[in-house]
Amino acid sequence: MMEDIRYTDSQDQGAPQYRREDGTMAQGADTSSRGYGFDVSAAVLKWVAIVTMFIDHTAASILEWSLESENYLFDSTALAITDGIMRCIGRTAFPLFIFMMAEGLYYTRSRKNYLIRLIAFCFISEVPFDLAFGYYRTGSIDLSTNLFVSEYQNVYFTLALGLAAIWIMNALYENMSSVVWEIILDLVVLAAFGYAAYLMKTDYDAGGVMAIAGAHITRRFRLKPVLSGVVIIVILCLTSGIIEAAAAFIALPLLGFYHGNRGYRFNKWIFYVFYPAHLFLLALIRTVIFA
């Protein structure tokens, strides 16, 4: 879901990179962040996003089915409170994914390959997504019933549309001489891809694409990561209609301590594969519990 920071051929791929305050990249230890004290790396942001997403999806796929079906795993009041807490914690994930995507547009080795990977995982993840959350539409947790639910598409579709949109917006920024026409065309691009997300009924739909664009614009003007987080979360709160989205503001302290340091390098495929794998696992667990 989130792209690795790029290395040039002349750089030592064993040494970490970090982003200076002026937005440029440097090699080696991040001495610039020492003055800030505590530092949160990109690797930490990715793992926080993964863990909070898992917490959110566990509640959405298992606890909420328990409440909806009135087949309570434990006391109904405690179950509802636990579900609410877990869903609020889970609101942290998507803003972090969006922020790292905006970073990835600048640091990926190949934007084309980045987009191709997202599109591939759109289709790889769709069946696991429907198995986990299709009951919202079908009212059943039967695996065969939820094998494909066309009314709701997974978040990879939103991310792919958002990446395509900001890629085009960035090209306009680099090649247009007229600021006015650039803004007009940016709005056209954003409207087109947002409408596509709405028609496809992707997770977070047009609001998700708008939030990705907001993160890209704040990154373009090299605003502080915490300000990027504010923009992302405000857009999601205004467009998603989910009150608990405001709980995503707990992600802001993490972004406030992020200074561009990459941190430990993990295989990027872990983050791509985790999404469909954990959804499939949660669907199986729910089936076993409530069979």
pLDDT single digits (tens) 232-280: 999 988 887 666 567 788 888 889 899 888 888 778 899 999 999 999 9
Domain-embedded: residue 91? yes
How confident is the model at residue 212, as a pLDDT?
96
Domain-embedded: residue 22? no
Domain-embedded: residue 276? yes
Note the pTM of the prediction, 2 decimals.
0.84
Domain-embedded: residue 24? no
119-151 pLDDT per residue, tens: 999 999 999 999 999 888 888 888 778 888 888
pLDDT higher than threshold 80 for residue 12: no
Domain-embedded: residue 249? yes
CA distance 68 to 61: 11
Domain-embedded: residue 11? no
Structural domain count, the chain: 1
Write out the residue range of the structural domain in which residue 203 sits: 37-290
Domain-embedded: residue 31? no
Q: What is the 3-state secondary structure (H, E, C) of 18-54?
A: EECCCCCEEECCCHHHHHHCCCECHHHHHHHHHHHHH
Contacts by 192-201, CB closer than 8 A, 24 or more apart: 192/165, 193/161, 193/162, 193/164, 193/165, 194/165, 196/161, 197/157, 197/158, 197/161, 200/153, 200/157, 200/161, 201/151, 201/152, 201/153
Question: Among the listed ranges 35-49, 87-101, 277-291, which one has the minimum average pLDDT value?
Answer: 35-49
Domain-embedded: residue 233? yes
